[in-house]
């Protein structure tokens, strides 16, 4: 059986720091701490649960869930992120897809992904670059209908079981949720940050109590945290993979200048 040795979550953008330099500094420090903790757990592989920003998965083909199957990924390079290749883990990804298929989850396989900032920005903080083979799992929050919270959590439980029962002994797995927190992307409400919602969300996950969110509908999330706030489902999936576990808030900053709440969390395992 494999072991989840690290689990956490982080927002995945960094914009111009000038409007709020001190807050931006604290965010970077939080991201650095997130990456430091993940690297310190010495994982053999990183499963990163994120969303694609329609650089790979757009309206032409819209899988609800998609997994990156490759020995090596080349970053898309958006946000100025260097296009330095990093290793994937083909066997890990294929094994997960095969197990999931037997459990009622037909993950779309993608061999030619060029991961965007949703994957590559958090990786910038796990140093040195490319030191941990990485498997991106995409939750498609950009399609309509989006996968439900219940479906996401069921997939998370499936992945937890797969690691616990199917992976090789001594395999050390890190799980990182990427995205969020509240943001209204190019819809009415744009620029709003639901600070109270964000803070309560992180605090509850840190207390190991995310039950109140598991019954939310995706419309509930849109109302409370915006269309981009659907990325909190990635956080909930990460938390569901380490049930009964709390953690520590690494950072939170409401950033109206960036039109989002920025946060990070590390689970105590």
Residues that bind another protein (CB under 8 A): 13-18, 24, 28, 53-55, 58-60, 79-82, 84, 123-129, 142, 185-188, 190, 227
Residues 6+ apart with CB under 8 A from 98: none
Q: Give the nearer residue to another protein in terms of CB position, either 66 or 156.
A: 66
Taking the complex as a whole, the smallest distance from the CB of residue 87 to another protein amounts, in Å, to: 13
The DSSP annotation for 52-88 comes to --SSSS-SSS--SEEEE--SEE----GGG-----EE-
Rg (CA), the chain: 17
Q: Give the nearer residue to another protein in terms of CB position, either 55 or 105.
A: 55
Taking the complex as a whole, the smallest distance from the CB of residue 246 to another protein amounts, in Å, to: 29
Q: Give the nearer residue to another protein in terms of CB position, either 83 or 268.
A: 83
Q: Give the nearer residue to another protein in terms of CB position, either 14 or 266.
A: 14
Taking the complex as a whole, the smallest distance from the CB of residue 142 to another protein amounts, in Å, to: 6
Length of the chain counted residue by residue: 269
Residue 96 CA neighbour count, 13 Å, CB half = 30
Residues 6+ apart with CB under 8 A from 243: 160
Taking the complex as a whole, the smallest distance from the CB of residue 6 to another protein amounts, in Å, to: 17
Q: Give the nearer residue to another protein in terms of CB position, either 24 or 232.
A: 24
* Phi–psi pair at 157, nearest 5 degrees: -65, -40
- Pair of tokens at residue 219: 């419309």
Taking the complex as a whole, the smallest distance from the CB of residue 114 to another protein amounts, in Å, to: 10
């Amino acid at each position: 059986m494999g072991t989840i040795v690290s689990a956490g979550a982080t927002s995945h953008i960094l914009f111009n720091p000038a409007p709020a330099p001190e807050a931006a500094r604290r965010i970077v420090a939080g991201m650095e701490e997130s990456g430091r903790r993940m690297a310190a757990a010495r994982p053999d592989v990183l499963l990163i649960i994120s969303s694609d920003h329609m650089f790979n998965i757009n309206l032409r083909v819209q899988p609800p869930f998609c997994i990156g199957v490759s020995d090596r990924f080349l970053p898309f390079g958006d946000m100025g992120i260097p296009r330095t290749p990093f290793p994937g883990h083909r066997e890990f990804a294929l094994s997960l897809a095969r197990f999931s298929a037997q459990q009622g989850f037909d993950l779309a396989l993608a061999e030619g992904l060029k991961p965007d900032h949703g994957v590559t920005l958090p990786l910038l903080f796990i140093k040195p670059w490319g030191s941990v083979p990485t498997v991106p799992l995409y939750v498609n929050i950009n399609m309509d209908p989006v996968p439900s919270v219940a479906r996401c959590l069921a997939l998370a439980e499936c992945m937890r079981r797969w690691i616990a029962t199917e992976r090789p002994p001594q395999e050390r797995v890190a799980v990182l949720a990427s995205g969020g927190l509240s943001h209204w992307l190019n819809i009415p409400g744009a620029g709003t940050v639901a600070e109270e919602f964000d803070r309560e969300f992180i605090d509850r996950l840190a207390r190991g109590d995310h039950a109140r969110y598991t019954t939310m509908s995706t419309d509930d999330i849109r109302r409370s945290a915006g269309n981009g706030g659907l990325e909190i489902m990635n956080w909930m999936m990460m938390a569901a993979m380490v049930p009964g576990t709390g953690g520590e808030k690494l950072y939170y900053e409401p950033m109206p200048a960036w039109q989002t709440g920025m946060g990070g969390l590390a689970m105590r395992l």
